[in-house]
Each structure stands twice: as structure tokens, then as C-alpha cells.
Amino acid sequence: MKRLLLLLLLLALLIGSLQGCIHFTPEPPPGSDPDTSPETDPASPSGTYLPWVDGDTNAEAFLQGGIVDCSEREYSYDEMCEDLRALSARYGAHFSYRSIGRSADGRELYACTLGNPKAENAILVSAGIHGREYLTVLLAMKQIEFYLAYYETGNFQGAAYKDLFSRFCFYIVPMTNPDGVMLSQEGISSLRSPELRQTVEEIYLKDLQDGMTGQTEIDSYLQYWKANARGVDLNRNFDALWEEYVNIKRPCFAQYKGLFANSEPETRAMVSFCESLDNVRAVLCLHSQGEVLYWNCGQKEPLLEQTRAFTAEIANRTGYKLIIEQNNDASFSDWCALEKGWIAVTVETGLGLCPLDLDKFYPIWQDQYDLLPLSAFYFAYRAE
């Protein structure tokens, strides 16, 4: 009996030791690719990537955590610069960024490259050209992170992200007007230059005198600032029917077109950058607000119909309304369409008074998170 008990004990010890040497690998969830799925996911509390279920599900989950923090409305220039460095460090195989110029107050204007820089086709995105519309900066940056995180596993209407992004290069300028954004977020103290602070203070006093604002505190007034640090509305400063555009005749928080076309360093930086590109299929200009799409700049056929057809695809996805009437205001879209011959669409995101509240960001994100793969898909498979 003792021998039997001893034998059973030895057998139990042997089985226990064998179990300790065996490691079971769990089966991957349906639809995942264990060879290509990223190892970490900033959007997942567990630290592992959520499997690609569908775009809406992944996009909703992705707002929680990650490199680009969506928990606050004010997304500053310094935060953007820090996030650009972090995205480049993590996803350098598919992402890079560089300076294309400086703002009036000396901040670098960055252009990001996502996808294949040697691709024959490119799509250009501009965000944050109006200071108080800074939720578009957050949108552009979170889009970049989303596409990079799901570069290997994501898809749009069955077309893999990695295929779309290998066939297209995306150039993204996430904060075209950094001085204006910082004035809207942090007020007069955000300006580094004493001369520019004096300029903005003088503009405020003139706007107050002329009844263009009822704000009795300058920083409250600056929350609604659209222009750059010199009081020029960058989206009225491009050399596209600039002479014909008539509005405010002096520096102001909005709508002043400047002393001459391309008078501002930010405008010149964008023009110079665009002149260096020869493969742009379309331009997307992210603005707020209205949930409408501007596309008719008075361009000639066939560009007019090509632009309308592409804009209709965006409208079908977002539910935004196409504005049929021709719109000319010396904007970046006007210049891209009339001077470069590119398809150009102004996407007015969200509803409400700018700067939009943070609670507006979720519906904007759900409407717009797949705007770039939609664009690549359209030109790869739908456009004639």
C-alpha cells in the first residue's frame, strides 16, 4: 500500500513538472492577423491592440488613450509638437514630418507625410488655418494616429489600409496657423514677440471701438480669434481672386485679407510647399463649423464635375450638405482649384459657435475618422 501511495505521489509530481514546461498559445480572435497585428495599443487599457472589427467600433474605442490626447478641447502647439515626435518614434516606417516654414511669431509649420512618399498619387490635408477652429487640429492628429495604429490590419470597404497607403501619399499640415490657435487658446500671453502683442492689443481696441466685439477683456475676445498674429485672415490671403474679395479693410480678428496676396509667412509657406508637389489628386481643407461642404470655386470643366463627384462621396459618408453656390474668398481651396488645377474641398466640421465645445468632437470624429482612406479608395477604384 505504501509503495502504491509513493508511486502515485511521484506520478503527480511528474505531471506537475510537465505542465510547467508547456506553454499554450491562445488562438487569435477571428479576423485578426497574428503576423501583422501591432503589439501595443494606446487605445486599449490592456495594452494590446483591439482586433479590427469595423471602423466605427475601432474609432470609438480609439478616442480613449493613445498618444494624441482627446480628453481636453485645448490642444496646444507644444502638445502637437510632442505628439509628432512620439508618432515618428513609434511609426517611423510609415510616418515622418518636417518644417515647411515659420509663422509670424516664429513657430515652425509642420507638414506630415503618411504612407508611401514615392507613390504616384497624393492627397493634401490642411487643418487649423483659422485660430478658433482648433478642434480640426485635434481631428487631423488623431486621424494620423488611427491610420498608423491600424496600418497593417485596418480596411475601408474591404480595401486594406496598407494597400491604400502604399498607393497614396498623404501630406497633412495639422496646424496651419499656430499663432492664431494659441491666441484663441491661451490669449495674449501666448505671443513671444512684444511687437506682435502690441499689434494684437491695438487690433482689439479698434475692434472694440468699432463695435465688432462686446468683450471687455482681451483674452475673452481672443477666444474668437481667426486670424494670424498680424491680424490677417490666412484663408483670405491667397492669390486667387484676391483683388476681387472685399471685406474688412484693416487688421482684425477675422476676414481681413492683408495688404497684398501672400503677404503672410504662413501663406507663403503653404504656397511654397504646394509648389514642391506634383502628384496631388485632391486637397481637403478642414474647418469648423456647419456640417457643409464647399467645392465650387468657379473652376472650369472637367475639374468642376470631378470636384463635385468627389465631394458627393464625402457627403454620402458624412451626411454633410453640398453647397452648390460658387464661393470665392481668396481661400486656400480657391488657390488650389484655380491656380493649381487640383480638386479641392472645404469640409466644415461640427455645429455650434467656434471654438466648439469638446462634446462636439465625438460626432465630428465619427463622421470624419476615415476621410483619408475614403479619399484614397475613391481615386483608386471609383474615379474615372
Q: Has residue 75 got a pLDDT over 90? A: yes
Cβ 125 vs Cβ 282: under 8 Å: no
Instruction: Give the per-residue pLDDT at 384.
Output: 58
176-185 burial: b if 16+ Cβ within 10 Å, else e: bbbbbbbbbb
This model's pTM is above 0.85:
yes
Q: What would be the CATH architecture of the domain defined by 55-181+264-382?
A: 3-Layer(aba) Sandwich (3.40)
More confident: 228 or 54:
228
pLDDT digits (tens, 9 = 90+) for 320-358: 999 999 999 999 999 999 999 999 999 999 999 999 999
* Mean per-residue pLDDT, 211-217: 94
What CA–CA distance (Å, rounded) separates 112 from 145?
12
Give yes or no for a contact between 342 and 280, defined as CB atoms under 8 angstroms apart.
yes
Burial of 347 (0-12, 13-18, 19+ CB in 10 A): buried
Grid cell locating 302: 472637367
Using the structure block, give the residue that is written with the C-alpha cell 485672415: 233
CA dihedral 305, 309, 311, 313 (to 10 degrees): 180
User: Of the candidates 136, 139, 230, which has an alpha carbon nearest to the alpha carbon of residue 183?
Assistant: 230
- For the chain, which residues make up each domain, given as ranges? 55-181+264-382
Which residues, other chains included, contact 93 with Cβ-Cβ below 8 Å and sequence gap of 6+?
none
User: Residue 70 and residue 63: Cα distance in Å, rounded?
Assistant: 6
Partners of residue 123 on adjacent β-strands: 170, 282
- 90-129 per-position pLDDT tens digit: 999 999 999 999 999 999 999 999 999 999 999 999 999 9
What ranges in 128-264 are assigned the alpha helix state H? Answer: 135-149, 161-167, 178-186, 194-209, 218-222
Which of 246, 190, 199 has the alpha carbon at shortest distance from 74?
A: 190
